[in-house]
Chains A and B, each alone.
Chain A
Amino acid sequence: MINSNAKTILEVRNLTATVAGVDILKGINLTVRAGEVHAIMGPNGSGKSTFSKVLAGHPAYEVKGGEVLFEGKDLFALESDERARAGIFLGFQYPVEIPGVTNSAFLRLAYNTVQGGRGKEELDPLEFDDLVREKMKLLEMNPEFLSRSVNDGFSGGEKKRNEILQMALLEPKLSLLDETDSGLDIDALRVVAGGVNKLLTPDNACVLVTHYQRLLNYITPDYVHVMSAGRIIKSGDKSLALELESRGYDWLLDDKKAAA
């Protein structure tokens, strides 16, 4: 939902970043206001996943230039855990498995850490159990996933539901969902997308990084951006995604070459 009076949550100015000495992001500019859903699309290797990881503070990526303001403050002054407590959430493309830690203990630890960081009340195991079971209903998750180890032996769809469950618990101001739709069958996609839709409010914002237009049938973006070779080369509304679906990316890349 676009509201030009809404406050700016994320301001990215000419962001450049490298991994292992290779330039991946070559000058990204993006403004995200409260209430908005942005989709970032693009061919493989365009840098779209890197962009979300850089915002979340992945240590493998080195920021070279530009600036990012999160609610008006320098994002790069914060460690990744501080960003999470400040309200940034990254939904992982490949959530890691942590055998030996039960999902319920992990979720409660994350919840209480984030709550504590925001000066809010922490919950004891019983109170938390009530809360998490309620949130699990959003994602049609079986409560048995609470007693299993974090993501251990989960199917692709179960892992993605578990990611959105964490989004539901941590109540971020900005969610970066990295290829949350990849590898999901249509039923799982519907559930996961439905969960995300229920979590969107006029006060938070969401950036969807996706390879496929299919996700956008379920979560309607206010803006669609196309990334290529580390830059956003075109922005538009949701009709751009449909155009990409029918025409592919080549025409955009050709346009860009022609312009250059």
Chain B
Amino acid sequence: MNVTATHPYVAALLAGSGVLPKSPTAWFDARRAAALERANALSVPTTRDEEWRFTDLTPLTKLQVRPAAAAVKVSTADIAPHVVPEASMRLVFVDGVPVLEFAQQGALPAGVTVIALSDAMKSHAALVEPWLAKLAGSEKELFTALNTAFLQHGVFIHLAKDAQLKAPIHLLFVAAGNGVAAYPRCLIVAETGAEACVIEDYVALGGEAYLTNAVTEIAVAPNASVRHIKLQRESQQAFHISTCAVTLAKDARFQSHAVTLGARLSRNNLNISQHGEGVSVEIDGLALIGGRQTADTHTLMDHAQPHGTCRQTHKTIVGGAAHAVFNGKVFVREGAQLTDSSQQSRNLLLSDKAHVDTKPQLEIFADDVKCAHGAAVGQLDADHLFYLKSRGLPEAQARNLLTYAFGAEIIDHIPVPSLVASLEKQVMARTEVSI
């Protein structure tokens, strides 16, 4: 592969992509080559790009990263705090490379397949080929193009017709090395009537600086249901850029829970496309940041067909000199009648230097729809504070409890008790609450 990137930083990132083994299929080699070509052609976005108006990637371009070579040694004790007991299966990736000794596979129900994406390209080509690198396009997206160009250690999760996976699949991404770029990739395909819950958990062992560039593609067939839980608890020096692209067929259901606590700079893209009537979507987001962190969330709910329902709540809690960004697009296309879509952006600023940019963006081309959106940026409510103080809680404790509660409302919706407990603990620690 030729490396002739137009942008020096992209050229540096792409160094080493040429040594990747050829994939087992010609069609994927072609897609990877196309992605590489796009990566070469695209520049690192700047704040002059509308999609990156509020988030400056300059700090990322100053970090030299290389793809993980030999994985840093990680012990079972390092993994232990991140175990989710409710999970039916766990896969562990260290710096983007799967480490089989940490994987745990219970008996998966009939019809549920979880295998390496590189194997699936061959063994399950008919299921993979329609979606992989198709749902998440590389045309304009540098980071998606880079991820596809580096695609090597992905996961393929398949649920056959009516397969029910009650217990979640846990994908644990552990960052251990300094100056490493990891390119996690996941494809989830749920056939008609199937049901699944997948957790993507990004954690760090130390305070290293590195780049996680993740892409997840999810195809939900008629009447199937997928719940996607994404927890971003990277190191405070890390960069985390991720894209999740979802396509929903008729009567499909999709629930997203995204919690952002870590990274010096993070960008979370969630693009949901409604391709059949009557889908039902819930999008919950929480970013709790402080110091000099930046957390940018861009979502798109594209109602291209009638009778879609979407409920979105995005919350940010911003302390220190941190900066949160939310851009929530909702498209209701011509003919997408009886769409019922609502979006709430609620933001809590904890300091004078904290900063939030929130941009609801509704574009409606159908006339018989119900769409609502609201954005609120503020401090804690004075009546709430007075209520707690009138019950004896000192000012600081009352503030912390309300801050915690603001975030807990999102966390409590995650139907995995151990995750709720561990996230609540992290939020309590950040808000100095003890209850």
* CB of A108 closer than 8 Å to a CB of B: yes
Interface residues of B in 398-435 (CB under 8 A from A): 398, 401-402, 404-409, 412, 435
B394 touches A81 (CB 8 A): yes
* CB of B397 closer than 8 Å to a CB of A: yes
Interface residues of B in 123-181 (CB under 8 A from A): none
* CB of B359 closer than 8 Å to a CB of A: no
CB contact between A84 and one of B382, B391, B404, B408 (< 8 Å): that residue: B391
A99 touches B405 (CB 8 A): yes
Chain B contact patch, size range:
20 to 34
Q: Which residues of A sit under 8 angstroms from B394, Cβ to Cβ?
A: 79, 81, 113
CB contact between B407 and one of A60, A85, A100, A109 (< 8 Å): that residue: A100
Q: Which residues of B sit under 8 angstroms from A99, Cβ to Cβ?
A: 405, 408-409
Q: Which residues of B sit under 8 angstroms from A80, Cβ to Cβ?
A: 386, 389-390
Q: Which residues of B sit under 8 angstroms from A113, Cβ to Cβ?
A: 391-394, 397
Closest to B391 in A: A110
B404 touches A57 (CB 8 A): no
CB contact between B389 and one of A81, A89, A106, A149 (< 8 Å): that residue: A81
A110 touches B393 (CB 8 A): yes
Chain B min CB distance to A120 (Å): 12
Q: Considering the chains assembled together, what is the distance between the CA atoms of A84 and B382 in angstroms?
A: 17
A100 touches B386 (CB 8 A): no
* CB of A260 closer than 8 Å to a CB of B: no
* CB of B387 closer than 8 Å to a CB of A: yes
Q: Which residues of B sit under 8 angstroms from A66, Cβ to Cβ?
A: none
* CB of A98 closer than 8 Å to a CB of B: yes
Chain A min CB distance to B344 (Å): 13
Q: Which residues of A sit under 8 angstroms from B388, Cβ to Cβ?
A: 98, 110
Q: Considering the chains assembled together, what is the distance between the CA atoms of A166 and B392 in angstroms?
A: 11
Q: Considering the chains assembled together, what is the distance between the CA atoms of A84 and B384 in angstroms?
A: 15
Q: Which residues of B sit under 8 angstroms from A106, Cβ to Cβ?
A: 391, 401, 435
A57 touches B390 (CB 8 A): yes
- Contact string, A93-111, partner B, CB cutoff 8 A, digits 1/0? 0011011110001101110
* CB of A170 closer than 8 Å to a CB of B: yes
Q: Considering the chains assembled together, what is the distance between the CA atoms of A29 and B412 in angstroms?
A: 48
Which of A92, A95, A106, A114 has the most chain B CB within a 10 Å cutoff? A106
CB contact between A170 and one of B392, B402, B409 (< 8 Å): that residue: B392
Closest to A110 in B: B391
* CB of A117 closer than 8 Å to a CB of B: yes
Q: Which residues of A sit under 8 angstroms from B386, Cβ to Cβ?
A: 57-59, 80
A100 touches B435 (CB 8 A): no
Chain A min CB distance to B104 (Å): 31
Q: Which residues of B sit under 8 angstroms from A60, Cβ to Cβ?
A: 382
CB contact between A90 and one of B383, B390, B401, B408 (< 8 Å): that residue: B390
Chain B min CB distance to A121 (Å): 15
Interface residues of A in 145-187 (CB under 8 A from B): 149, 166, 170
Q: Which residues of B sit under 8 angstroms from A95, Cβ to Cβ?
A: 387
Q: Considering the chains assembled together, what is the distance between the CA atoms of A101 and B428 in angstroms?
A: 12
* CB of A56 closer than 8 Å to a CB of B: yes
* CB of B395 closer than 8 Å to a CB of A: yes
Chain B min CB distance to A14 (Å): 25
Closest to B397 in A: A113
Chain B min CB distance to A180 (Å): 14
Chain A min CB distance to B401 (Å): 6
A110 touches B409 (CB 8 A): no
Interface residues of B in 261-317 (CB under 8 A from A): none
- Contact string, A123-136, partner B, CB cutoff 8 A, digits 1/0? 00000000000000
Q: Considering the chains assembled together, what is the distance between the CA atoms of A79 and B435 in angstroms?
A: 23
Chain A min CB distance to B395 (Å): 7
A110 touches B392 (CB 8 A): yes
Chain A min CB distance to B317 (Å): 11
A81 touches B384 (CB 8 A): no
A81 touches B404 (CB 8 A): no
Contacts known (A58-B386, A92-B387, A108-B435); A101 close to B405, Cβ less than 8 A: yes
Closest to A151 in B: B387
Chain A min CB distance to B329 (Å): 26
Q: Considering the chains assembled together, what is the distance between the CA atoms of A90 and B391 in angstroms?
A: 8
- Contact string, A10-49, partner B, CB cutoff 8 A, digits 1/0? 0000000000000000000000000000000000000000
Closest to B412 in A: A100
CB contact between B404 and one of A92, A101, A108 (< 8 Å): that residue: A101
Chain B min CB distance to A33 (Å): 23
A81 touches B392 (CB 8 A): yes
Chain B min CB distance to A256 (Å): 33
Q: Considering the chains assembled together, what is the distance between the CA atoms of A136 and B408 in angstroms?
A: 26
Which of A60, A80, A84, A108 has the most chain B CB within a 10 Å cutoff? A80
Interface residues of A in 74-91 (CB under 8 A from B): 79-81, 83-85, 89-90
A81 touches B398 (CB 8 A): yes
CB contact between B409 and one of A100, A109, A114 (< 8 Å): that residue: A100
Chain A min CB distance to B362 (Å): 25
Contacts known (A100-B409, A108-B435); A79 close to B404, Cβ less than 8 A: no
A79 touches B392 (CB 8 A): no
A114 touches B392 (CB 8 A): yes
B404 touches A96 (CB 8 A): no
A84 touches B389 (CB 8 A): yes
Chain A min CB distance to B374 (Å): 16
Q: Which residues of A sit under 8 angstroms from B407, Cβ to Cβ?
A: 100
Q: Considering the chains assembled together, what is the distance between the CA atoms of A56 and B391 in angstroms?
A: 10
B391 touches A170 (CB 8 A): yes
Chain B min CB distance to A170 (Å): 7
Closest to A150 in B: B405
B384 touches A117 (CB 8 A): no
A79 touches B409 (CB 8 A): no
Q: Which residues of B sit under 8 angstroms from A105, Cβ to Cβ?
A: 435
Q: Considering the chains assembled together, what is the distance between the CA atoms of A81 and B385 in angstroms?
A: 10
Chain A min CB distance to B327 (Å): 25
List 18 other contacts, CB 8 Å, given A57-B390, A98-B388: A56-B390, A80-B390, A81-B389, A83-B390, A84-B389, A96-B383, A98-B384, A98-B405, A99-B408, A99-B409, A100-B405, A100-B412, A101-B405, A108-B435, A109-B393, A109-B435, A114-B392, A170-B391
User: Which 5 A-B pairs have CB atoms at the shortest separation, nearest pair first?
Assistant: A100-B405, A100-B408, A110-B391, A84-B392, A100-B409
A selection of 8 A-B contacts at a CB cut-off of 8 Å is: A79-B394, A80-B390, A81-B393, A81-B395, A89-B390, A101-B401, A108-B435, A113-B397
